[in-house]
Amino acid sequence: MKNLQLTLIFLFASLLSFAGISNKEKEALIALHTSTNGEQWTKKWDLNADVSTWYGVKIESDKVVGLYLQFNNLNGTIPQEIGNLTALQSINFGLNKLSGELPNSLSNLKNLKSLELFLNNFKGNIPSFLGALNNLEVLALYSNSFTGEIPSELAKLVNLKTLQLGSNFLTGIIPSQLGQLHELETLSLIDNNLEGDIPLELTDLKNLKELILSDNKLTGNLPLQFSKLNKLGTLMVSDNNMNVEYATVVEDRASVKSAIITFNDTYVVERD
């Protein structure tokens, strides 16, 4: 009898551990599959199998916490239902064929730490509602077709470490509010149509390791204060409309500091 009781307890515990995600979350995954032409994915889902076996889906405590479907031939749009996956911490849909605008239901994903949608064909403005994702550490939207200005609301992402918006069609100025992102390590806005001076406020980014602003229409000069950023090892501001054609320094902190000089009372970087 004692052995039977132990067996039943073990079976009950096993059933609890494999209870599976809610129907609402499963329906959200199926909506994603449908809207991105899942039948043509490189690594497909067997919709008749348990969700725990679906490629790129990470589950913890019966909640979907990660979607890793990069380079998997997703073709279509992200459905609104994705906002029902409220436990999501990571999304990587990079290197696919996704298009359309980002659904506003992404603002529901308050636990999201990483949103990687690079190398797709998303369009429209970068949504200001992304600023509501307070836990976000990585925002990688580069190599898409986003237009309009960089929303100043991104400055609310106080935990952000990586902001990559390069190779889009962004216009306007670099928001000075980005200087409030004190955890930021990488800022890449390369290959857009940004104008105006590089905001002095960016020199407040004490943790910055990479500043990549090349191939825009930026003007003015580089403030001397950038030489005081002790972690800055990559500096790329060439191919703009600035007063000097700035040198490019990659992964060399000493060279960044020594390259910044005073010239005619204007702080600039040495020419190549």
CB 74, CB 98: distance < 8 Å: yes
Q: How confident is the model at residue 254 (pLDDT cuts 50, 70, 90)?
A: confident
Residue type, 91: I
Q: What is the pTM of this model?
A: 0.89
pLDDT digits (tens, 9 = 90+) for 63-100: 999 999 999 999 999 999 999 999 999 999 999 999 99
Mean pLDDT of 253-263: 63
Give the list of residues 6+ apart from residue 249 with CB closer than 8 angstroms, or none.
Answer: 233, 234, 235, 236, 255, 256, 259
What pLDDT score does 224 carry? Answer: 85
Tell me the pLDDT of the chain averaged across its residues.
89
CB 91 within 8 A of CB 58: no
pLDDT for res 259 = 64
